[in-house]
Structure 1
Amino acid sequence: MKTLILIPARAGSKGLKGKNVKNLGELPLIAYSILFAKEVATHNDIVCISTNDPEVIDIAEKYNLPVPFVRPDALASDFAGSYEVIMHALNHYDALDINFDSVLLLQPTSPFRLVEDFNKMNALYTADCDMVVSVCVSKNSPYFNLFEQDQYGYLKKSKESDGIRRQDCPEVYAFNGSMYLISVAALKRTNFQGFTKIIKSVMPEERSIDIDNMRDWKIAEYFLIEAKNENS
């Protein structure tokens, strides 16, 4: 299987300015995904950063990862979606007659994934599925503590359940934003909303940090320190 390993890293984050190039511990945040991509890539794969940020390009080149194109401004706004960014990258390589079976999307805001997480995900992937996605077990549940407002203004459980404890309810999962292993055939057929064959790959809470703001950053720093203490 030939995989495009794609790291989307646009400039202009609103939640935490410059987070992709900000040092988390001893490395810029983007470097965690670059090093991970290089570690899991096979000789068939291509690692690509899609960015419009000159600082990200500089960091990538320091890690011997040439950036093949600068992402167009239209795909670097707050309104641009991941699907459009992925298709732009695939179209770039299609024009060069380089084709892929799958795309591994690595969000740079999730620095703590491990090779074992990828190996588990990769083992779950089949030619018949649309996507294998990394998830974590959700503490919030539509069967227990998630509600919707009805026509009278009252809160009702999003999904009816007789469970009086969360543990009594069906387990639910949240995309943790870390990794998406996606069929190119599925991408060319429909967007994410059209996917019907999605397989979960569960990651633990401590590796499911998705950095969006300073609070998330502080939590990531805490887990980084804890990991170093465990390994020392």
Structure 2
Amino acid sequence: MKTTSRILGVIPARGGSKGIYNKNLKLLGGKPLIYYTIQAALKAKLLNTVIVSSDCYKILQYAQQFSGITVPFVRPESLATDVASSLEVVKHSLDFYSRFGCAFDFVMLLQPTSPFRSADLIDRAAKYLIASGADSLITVRKIPDRFHPSWAFQAGEQGLYKVVNDSTQLISRRQDLPDNYYRDGKIYISKTALIQEGMLVGGKIASLLTEDEPDINIDTFSDWEMAQNHIHLWKNLQKENC
């Protein structure tokens, strides 16, 4: 499938990090964490422009080494805090380009904290969203049955109560549980119009299963250790798929 839609890829990589210090430049398998997302974005075929948005000069200098990666600005400090949202970061990128008369139909957010993301997945996500006619797409994985929302409870003054379907009988058989999914953080892609309306994910939402790739989103040291255990296998898999 060929597409004439213009897609902006945004790699957000602020300098500060409370969980893991200097996380985006921390070496994973001998390469900075951000390296893996940059490589996947560059190998993808459907991203027209790929930028790194950061407030950190070291990160920006590192990104400039890669042909095909654009570093159009230094992200404002107000958008590099713990409370700054991904939506604000993406909208800032779009607004920057709009000032120069450059428009995009879609924006894809690629967070470096999900290093195990293939270029093929990026292209499949873009193709699927465009073909579906949906407004946004997230990559997802199936919630394991033991964590299913229908089997989840919260504590209240009168004891435990079910989180969902509180008025219905408890589903006792695993086989009767409806499929539920959680977002894995690998890919968010949205129509530009949706971003301008103040939503990163919304409208008609499409999804893409990613069960063929490791499910690791690095926020804590235990996540980092998991990534270290997978990195050599992932590198070998990427070589095989070249």
Structure 1-normalised TM-score?
0.90
SS class of match (1:143): helix
Structure 1 residue identity aligned to 2:179? E
1:38-89 C-alpha deviation (Å, 9 max, x unpaired):
11144x7111111011221121012233411000000001110011111100
Structure-1 residue corresponding to 2:59: 56
Change (3 A) 1:172 1:73: same
User: Is the aligned partner of 1:163 residue 2:167?
Assistant: no
Structure-2 residue corresponding to 1:36: 40
Change (3 A) 1:90 1:228: closer
Q: 1:187 aligns with which of 189, 195, 200?
A: 195
| 1:133–1:180 Cα contact (<8 Å) kept | yes
Structure-2 residue corresponding to 1:24: 28
| 1:176–1:208 Cα contact (<8 Å) kept | yes
Q: 1:133 aligns with which of 132, 138, 146?
A: 138
| 1:110–1:211 Cα contact (<8 Å) kept | yes
Change (3 A) 1:229 1:118: closer
Change (3 A) 1:206 1:164: farther
CA-CA distance at 1:225 after TM superposition:
3.1
| 1:103–1:181 Cα contact (<8 Å) kept | yes
In angstroms, what is the RMSD of aligned CA positions? 2.1
1:188-219 C-alpha deviation (Å, 9 max, x unpaired):
123247x1311111112752210001100000
Change (3 A) 1:156 1:205: farther
Mapped partners of 1:122, 1:165: distance in 2: 37
| 1:12–1:18 Cα contact (<8 Å) kept | yes
Q: 1:203 aligns with which of 206, 210, 222?
A: 210
CA-CA distance at 1:148 after TM superposition:
2.3
Structure 2 residue identity aligned to 1:169? L
Report matched runs for 1:207-222 at 5 Å: 207-222=214-229
| 1:3–1:45 Cα contact (<8 Å) kept | yes
Point out where structure 1 has 5 or more consecutive residues left out of the alignment: none
CA-CA distance at 1:176 after TM superposition:
0.6
Change (3 A) 1:183 1:28: same
Point out where structure 2 has 5 or more consecutive residues left out of the alignment: none
| 2:140–2:183 Cα contact (<8 Å) kept | yes
Aligned residues: 228
Structure-2 residue corresponding to 1:82: 86
Report matched runs for 1:49-128 at 5 Å: 49-64=52-67, 65-126=69-130, 128=133
